[in-house]
Amino acid sequence: MPEKPYSLTREERLRSKKTIEAVFEEGNSLSCFPFRLLWITCHLENKMPVQAAFMVSKKNFRQAVKRNLLKRRMREAYRKNKGIIYPVLEQKKLNCSLIILYFHTEILNYPIIETNLVKVLRQLVLALEKGTGDPVYQPD
């Protein structure tokens, strides 16, 4: 776990274009309404075991204000519940890059978003424990 367990620092955010493209091309996926989670694992020695990005479709939400509202809610729910996936990754000595997509066409309340994000994170933990997310990505 990071030094401040309930923070979402810059190092924990997925910003690398190469890695984002790799997650979309080679990554595994899970769905749990209203989210689709894409992830890829690798054997890296980063400071942070998980890097996450949050995306909302411009097709579904034309106004940036609404997209930003949903991304803020998703980031907050992830920040509070990211501890679910850290123990599994530390046990397997893996790093994980996540992209969480919001694909519903309506703005949901924060409690619904948080509940469903926890469900999808638990699905990710089960997939990692089963070995579905075996390391496939080797960055340059």
pLDDT at 31: 93
Do 46 and 93 meet the contact criterion of CB atoms below 8 Å apart?
Answer: no
pTM of structure: 0.87
Alpha-carbon gap, residue 64 to 68, rounded angstroms = 6
Per-residue model confidence as pLDDT tens for the chain (140 residues): 556 677 888 889 999 899 999 999 999 999 999 999 999 998 766 678 899 999 999 999 999 999 999 999 999 999 999 999 999 988 888 899 999 999 999 999 999 999 999 999 999 999 998 876 555 555 54
Alpha-carbon gap, residue 3 to 19, rounded angstroms = 25
pLDDT at 48: 83
SS3 content of the chain, % helix, strand, coil (to 5): 45, 20, 35
